[in-house]
Amino acid sequence: MSSIMKATTDNGLLLPVRDQDGAPFWEFAARGELRVQACAACGRLRFPPRPCCPHCRSFASQWRAMSGRGRIWSYVLPHPPLLPGYAAQAPYNAVVVELVEDPGIRLVGNVVTAPDAALNSLDPSRLRIGAAVRACFHTMAEGVTVPRWMLERP
């Protein structure tokens, strides 16, 4: 668990600093599952996770499995100045993906050519708003796994 307390990976990438509401997301991700918080009373999905449902105010929630399919909602190509670990891979892409289950549920991530490939592994000219993507999982450090995205039509 020591890596969870660290701020960065050995090569300087930031690890998610989880809060209590978000912890289940990361625990499911570590098992290779993409799950999003849903209200146990009215059934609405919500993201980012929070203590109660903004629609029906129920405090009961569950973590619903997602198909892992989505579309690129937008993207940027960051260039330096950046933190050193990111600068070493710049320009890379950062994307927002909307999930097919609910286009209002959007996840920030990276589109890569393989789960453990570099942040800049995809030719940026392949990126399009609306392109279909599928989730994969990458272990950043011991006990810390993040979802990443691969193009459905590589």
Partner 1 sequence: MASLKDATAIVGIGQTAFAKRLDEPEKTLACRAILAALDDAGIDPCEVDAFASYTMEETDEVEIAKSIGAGDVTYFSKVGYGGGGSCATVAHLAAAIVSGQAAVGIAWRSRKRGSGKRPWTDVHAQLPTPAQWTRPFGLLRPADEIGMLTRRYMHEYGVTRDHLFNVALACRNRANQNPAAMMYERPLTREMYMTARWISEPLCLYDNCLETDGALACVVVSADRARDCRHRPVYVHSVAQALPAQHHGMVNYWTDDPLTGPAWTAARQLWKTADLTPEDVDVAQIYDAFTPLIPLSLEGYGFCGRGEGGAFTTGGALEIGGRLPLNTSGGGLSEAYVHGFNLITEAVKQLRGTSTAQVPGAATCLVTAGEGVPTSALLLRS
Tell me the three state secondary structure of residue 61.
Answer: strand
Burial of 30 per CB tally in 10 Å (0-12, 13-18, 19+): middle
By the rule CB under 8 A, 10 interacts with partner 1: no
User: What is the x/- site pattern for partner 1, positions 78-97, by CB under 8 A?
Assistant: xx-xxx--x--x-xx-x-x-
Q: Which stretch binds partner 1 (CB under 8 A): 27-35, 36-44, 60-68, 69-77?
A: 69-77
**DSSP category for residue 3:** H
User: CB of residue 74 vs partner 1: minimum separation in angstroms?
Assistant: 4
Tell me the three state secondary structure of residue 30.
Answer: helix
Q: Is the peptide bond before 91 cis (omega within 30 degrees of 0)?
A: yes
Contact 113, 120 (CB under 8 A): no
Closer residue to partner 1, CB minimum distance, 43 or 124: 124
Q: Find the binding residues for partner 1 in span 97-126 (CB under 8 A).
A: 104-110, 119
- Binding partner 1 (rule: CB under 8 A), the pick from 42, 56, 114, 129 is 129
Closer residue to partner 1, CB minimum distance, 47 or 137: 47
Rounded alpha-carbon distances, angstroms, from residue 123 to 3, 5, 53, 120: 31, 33, 40, 7
Interface with partner 1 (CB under 8 A): 7-8, 13-19, 21-22, 26, 47-48, 54, 73-79, 81-83, 86, 89, 91-92, 94, 96, 104-110, 119, 129, 140, 146
